[in-house]
Amino acid sequence: MRTLRAFVVITVLVSAATACRARDRATPAGGTAPVRGGELVVSVRTDPQSFNWFTKRDGTTQLVTYLTQARAVRVNRVTQETEPWLAEGWTRSEDGRRYTLTLRPGIAFADGQPFTSADVVFSADAAYDEASVIADGVMVGGKRLQMTAADPRTVVITFPEPFGPGLRILDNLPIMPKHRLEPTLRAGAFGRAWGVGAPVDEVTGLGPFVLAEYVPGQRIVFTRNPRYFRKDANGVQLPYLDRVVVQIVSDQDAEVLRLQAGQVDMSGAEIRPEDYAPLRRAADAGRVQLLDLGVTYDPDSLWFNLKPGAFGGDPRAAWLQRDELRQAISLAVDRKAFVDTVFLGAAVPVWGPVTSSNKKWYSADLPHPPYDPARARQLLASIGLTDRNGDGVLEDAHGAPARFTLLTQKGITSLERGAAVIRDDLKKVGLVVDVVPLEGNTVVKSFLVDQQYDAVYFRVGTTETDPASNADYWLSSGGSHVWNLAQKTPATPWERRIDEMMARQIAALDDGERKRLFDEVQKVFAEHLPVINFAAARIYVATSTRVTNLTPTLLRPMLLWSPDTIAVKH
Amino acid sequence: MRANSRTVGIAIVSVAAAIVFAAPALAPRPIDARFPGALNAPPTVPHVRDDDGAWHAPFIYPWTLANRLEQRYEQDRSVRVPLAWFENGHVVQSSDETRAPLLWLGTDTYGRDVFSRLVFGARVSLGLALAAALGSMIIGALVGGVAGYAGGITDDVLMRLTDFVMVLPGMYVALALRAVLPLVLPAEVVFALLAVIFAVVGAPFIARGVRAIVRSERTLDYAVAAEALGASPARLLIRHLLPSTRGFMAVEITLLVPAFIVAEATLSYVGLGFPDPTASWGTMLRDASNIRAFADFPWLLSPAVAMFVVVLGLNLAVQNQRAHGTIL
Amino acid sequence: MIAYVVRRALVAVLLVFAVSSASLVLTRLAPGDFVTESLGTHASREAMERMRERYGLNKSIAQQYRDWLAAAVRLDFGYSLQYDRPVRELIPERAANTAILAVTALGLATVIGLPLGVLSGSRRSGALAALVRAASVVLLSMPPLLTSLFLVFVAARTGWFPIGGMSSAAVTGGGALLDLVHHLVVPAAAVGLPLAAMLERLQAQATTDVIGEPFVLATLARGVPYSRVVWRDALKPALRPVASVYGLIVGTLLSGSFAVEVITAWPGLGKLMLDALRARDVFLVAGCAGTGAIFLAFGTLFSDLILGLVDPRARE
């Protein structure tokens, strides 16, 4: 038929066009020591919502902050230890509540203004301002830190109570220029300061780069900060790069295409499992570098609504909130097959919220019960769920089927696949699961605000490896204690135990003691399983072959947390 | 010649209808059957000759996983798995469904059979799209016809109303609806809801076109004559004026059907779609909208081909034939 | 005539307010709000309440609407919650980008679609008509997401065109226009080709209809060559259906196509609108919907005016 022939003609023409391959970029030979100069192109998913990290927490604003601002004390993501940054050293008082920081001499902001302790104190004030959203990250037990400038090079920080992590907290506080922002802070307009509409020369900082240009929807350009305070081991002035161009590419497929074509050097985040194969091929052809960063710090999480009375008169309340149900579910899911199906093998099975990548806090002594559906059925029978009519589905004492709804986030392949696997595995032990994929905002609202749901399958992100910094998750009064948020008093005895141990863990100053306490917390957690974790994905990032001297870590931004030491080959 | 293309169109539509009707028999397995070890596996092509040249009853070679992360498969040519015909209510299946399934169009990213989902998805997607298109046409013809016929204030009011419906982004309404509806909706409810939403959303374009045509046709001799003879407005509209919009409607179907199929996937993204594991062409295409589908897994794009064939058939079948056929 | 235009303009203003109001209310009704979206699980309850108060999200829907309306009549459409910039500044920026794309795509579509439609509708050559019809149906049945992805994929493989974006970083002055055109090709094709297909189908059908009318037969009988009849006498009435939707198309194009803008990284209005919805950025959502309404009202007015030009029978 003519139309069919026409169709074939069109297909042939198009295939011929796509057969022409892109030119292969020859990788230049590079020396071993990083060389100064060159440009780096990074791609991010969204526009920045602000240039002021204190008011907006999106990923691009975070990247802008890493490029243009510096901290007094930095947490080295690779070693997980604190290191002097703008401060060159510090002493700690006996009771551990007072730290005296000595700042480096002769440092100036990018616009020339000298840096003093007054800027550090000002930054803390700004962090506690009404308009700031980072206040929680710089508070201990809900109380502020007291900062005083003893002299232009000395800052005294007083903690309201003993705090184990100590100065790690300062990693959350970029140092802002007092001379630029104080007027707006005093006027109560800090919330609008340094918005994306601000002229670029207004934004200044102590970081390795300076904001040079912002074209909305397209790109942000940064140039070297000639006054940056750091030098490398050979005395070479950092940063190595002359320019950083941040391109805004919202589609992940387009980003992968650009990486393969060499138009982008790196992305701000990890690659998806489905992009692994084409990038592996590109890496084998010498066009990209593929880096395996290890297992993520955040495994997936399945939890039930454990708020007392959440199910009202619903007869399912008798079994939906029981520990045995969750223990049974943990036994009923084959984690090895889960890893293969959901992450294509690029993950490891986990049994708790802390993964082996978190070397300092991971507890290897926790039980790892193997896949055991028979035992799962026993546990379910012990809370009254058995198959009373032989239809393959468990029923409770009244004959109502054991059925619940599982909310998950639409658009995240690993979550949707994971939910499907969980549904199928639980069907085999007789539990019926209705998977409802919803838009992210809707899911978050269901468990955070309404607290009206049966169960949720989600990925709760952590930003720090130290559990004291994630207190909101562990403490029953915390806002991230997802299965039963913000309790006034702990609803269960085991949550009370965790609360007590975490309180001691946060306040203790001895690392060994803190580890022991947290191991105990993880043990209680594994017994009662308020959250069931199945697998933790491996994290891969891809960069062009020009980039050298990388310090990859698992927390975002994986490569750009240390932008001053990244170099490119010429 | 012209009758030929129309016949072709009708033939295509009939075949599609037959496939939709016979879905349970044609599809080798139900839509939610998953093969965890065969994600994005290629189609299994039936052979009749093996590597030595001997002839056999139709058989397939099973797929073995070569690399899980890259999702690469290799044919195991040492094993011949013959096909099983007319068993278990299916026209054809593999004789070893668990380890060497018959995959006419391979599997998708969850390991589900694409062909089965395509065939069952046709019911959902085509059913919804056609029902909604019909609804749009009825509403649009009514509104546009009345506006074009009556003119004046009625015309103005009706057209501004259609403007409002046209410009209000459907997504906003869908999201707000999501908030007030219960979380788990049965498939029939979703079908009815989507059909109504699409019918309302698609009507304005038809209304405008119909109105323009009716307004000018109305001044033609045959319409004036019918009016003079005492035809009521309704009769005038339905018997004389609306039929002249037939050509326009034919094109509109061609535009609306694919648009509705795609829109179902978009709405499903905000949670207003069919419950899992219902298959629909829209969601299948959305899941296949990535470069890996183009580069490595082209069978995932089969709903696009299916959509093209069906829409072509509709276009050919519904088109307006020229009144004077023998001039050229 | 003037009275007609003025009347339509007034109704347009009313329409804009109606749509913006509806959008604002609908976004407030949608599950979640800006605070849950931006802070999510990373903040305490107090921080979230503080943020809500700062942005005025703890007000009732009625209260917020009243405040917004009072400011809107003074042409102050509020601040975007995401970017802390006035909506009044944010939208024209993006709308301009979308307009560039829209005009180019429309031009492309008209130049390709209309003549092809006349050709295939007059059925001079059977093979050509079949080919054109097949191509049109292919373009119409492909989802816009897929079309854009395919074109970007082709651009990446061949290396002839940039893989998305609107401009390159280091180009200034005279080269900028050429750079823009270079970046325009893929997005304009992604929007323009399906549009060309739609115009072609509409035009083909209309041409076929007109050629079947008695006056064409009469003209041919007088000895006028067929191609003259097709391109001169039958053209004006055949343009009627396309004219009736042309303005509408302009209006829809100016609102932006989300799929194309996302895949080709074109910083336009369509993407702004949907991102605003996703983030529950209520004032930006209302602003975008209102802008869309303006474009559409203008589009339908334009459409009706063209229709009046092309078809005297339809004039008021």
A405 touches chain B (CB under 8 A): yes
With an 8 Å Cβ cutoff, are B271 and A344 in contact? no
**Edge-to-edge strand order for the sheet containing A301-304?**
A432-438, A403-409, A455-458, A301-304, A531-532
Residue A194 Cα, gap to closest chain C Cα (Å): 10
Task: Show which of residues 172-211 on chain C sit within 8 Å of chain A, judged by CB atoms.
Answer: none
- pLDDT, one tens digit per residue, over B4-61 is 778 888 999 999 999 989 888 888 888 888 888 888 999 998 888 888 888 888 888 8
> CA distances (Å), B43 to each of A297, B38, B67, B107, B301, in order?
38, 11, 17, 8, 13
Residue contact A3–C134, C-beta within 8 A? yes
Q: Does A144 touch chain C (CB under 8 A)?
A: no
* Residue-wise DSSP of A403-447: EEEEEEETT-HHHHHHHHHHHHHHHHTT-EEEEEEE-HHHHHHII
| Touching C: A residues 61-100, CB under 8 Å | none
Q: Which residue has the higher pLDDT, A348 or A315?
A: A348
pLDDT at C173: 67
- With contact defined as 3+ CB pairs under 8 Å, the chains touching B are A, C
Flag whether residue B296 sits within 8 Å of chain C, measured between CB atoms: no
Which of the four pLDDT bands, split at 50, 70 and 90, describes residue A28? very low
Residue type for position B10? I
Rounded average pLDDT over A36-48: 93
Confidence of residue A2 (pLDDT cuts 50, 70, 90): low
**How much is the pLDDT for A7?**
47
Residue C31 region by backbone torsions, left for phi larger than 0, else alpha for psi between -120 and 50, else beta: beta
Helix (H) or strand (E) holding B12: helix B2-21
Return d(Cα A549, Cα A36) in angstroms, integer: 12
Q: Is B181 on the interface with C (CB under 8 A)?
A: no
Residues A64-122: tens digit of each pLDDT: 999 999 999 999 998 889 999 999 999 999 888 999 999 999 999 999 999 999 999 99
Of A276, A278, A405, the CB nearest to B183: A405
Provide the pLDDT for residue C105. Answer: 95
Amino acid in the structure at residue B150 = A
DSSP lists the bridge partners of residue A434 as A405
Of the candidates A406, A418, A407, A331, the residue with the CA atom closest to the CA atom of residue A371: A331
Cα–Cα distance measured from residue B179 to residue B190, given in angstroms and rounded to the nearest whole number: 15
C5, C25, C141: which to substitute to probe chain B, counting the most B Cβ within 10 Å? C141
Task: Please say if the pLDDT value at position A225 is more than 90.
Answer: yes
Q: Residue C171's CB: how many other CB atoms inside 10 A?
A: 14
Rounded to the nearest angstrom, the minimum Cα separation between C182 and chain B is: 22
B309 vs A32, more confident: B309
Query: For C232-253, what is each residue's pLDDT tens digit?
Result: 878 877 887 788 788 888 888 8
C-alpha atoms less than 13 angstroms from C-alpha of B115 in its C-beta half-sphere: 20
Read off the pLDDT band of B135 (50, 70, 90).
very high
Mean pLDDT across chain B: 85
Nearest residue to A278 via CA among C148, B296, B107, C146: B296
Inter-chain CB proximity B176 and C240 less than 8 Å: no
Contact flag C144-B179 (C-beta cutoff 8 Å): no
Per-residue confidence (pLDDT) for residue C312, from 0 to 100: 66
pLDDT (average), residues C98-122: 92
pLDDT in tens, C166-193: 888 776 667 788 889 999 999 999 999 9
* Residue A42 pLDDT: 95
Q: For residue B181, give the nearest of B169, B166, B197, B165 by alpha carbon.
A: B197
pLDDT on residue B274: 86
Percent of chain C with pLDDT over 70: 95
In this complex, is the C-beta atom of A24 within 8 Å of any C-beta atom belonging to chain C?
no
Range scoring the smallest mean pLDDT among A108-117, A178-187, C203-212: C203-212
Q: Report the residue of A52, A133, A196, A287 to disrupt the C interface, i.e. the one with the largest count of C CBs within 10 Å.
A: A133
**Is A403's Cβ below 8 Å from some Cβ in B?**
no
Asked if C140 contacts C194 with a C-beta cutoff of 8 angstroms, the reply is yes
User: B64 phi and psi, to 5 degrees?
Assistant: -120, 150
On the 0-12 / 13-18 / 19+ scale of CB atoms within 10 A, C158 is middle
Other residues' Cβ atoms within 10 Å of the Cβ of residue A405: 14
Q: For the segment C262-287, what is each residue's pLDDT rounded down to a tens digit?
A: 899 999 998 898 888 888 899 999 99
Instruction: Compare B84 and A240 and report the one with higher pLDDT.
Output: A240
C163·A444 Cβ contact <8 A: no
Chain C residues with CB under 8 Å of B209 CB are: 241, 244-245
Question: Are residues B172 and C141, on separate chains, in Cβ contact within 8 Å?
Answer: no
Looking at the complex, report in whole angstroms how far the Cα of residue C174 sits from the nearest Cα belonging to chain B.
35
Rounded CA-CA distance A7/A496 in Å is 69
User: What is the reported pLDDT for A23?
Assistant: 38
